[in-house]
Amino acid sequence: MAFFMVTFTYPATSSKEVGETFLSGNTPKLPEFVKQEKVFVVLDKKVKNYVIYEVEDEKAHDALMAIATRFTGYFNIKDSQFKIEHLMTTREALPLIGLK
């Protein structure tokens, strides 16, 4: 399985606009093979959303493109930003340092 984490940030003053955009259903839909696992929200200087997605390995590139496309629906919200990271499990990362 492949995992992606999106960090989506925006000013607290844009929270209502983000919520309305989300509820509108106008953002691009994710394909069924992209499973949203968890969403976490942190209130800081900006509002931060952490969204974890899971997908089969062979669909990782398609999932990355679909997730990026979905977040383009928020481009019009001033000072909003998103970053997509491809995550590894600890077991997947150990061989990178010569451990099994």
> Which pLDDT belongs to residue 89?
93
Question: Is this prediction's pTM over 0.85?
Answer: yes
Q: Which CATH number fits domain 2-97: 3.30.70, 1.10.260, 1.20.950, 3.40.50?
A: 3.30.70
> Which pLDDT belongs to residue 24?
94
The model's pLDDT over 50-67, given as tens digits with 9 standing for 90+, comes to: 999 999 999 999 999 999
> Which pLDDT belongs to residue 23?
95
**Every domain of the chain and the residues it spans:** 2-97
Residue 100 has pLDDT above 90, yes or no: no
d(CA 42, CA 97) in angstroms, rounded, equals: 32
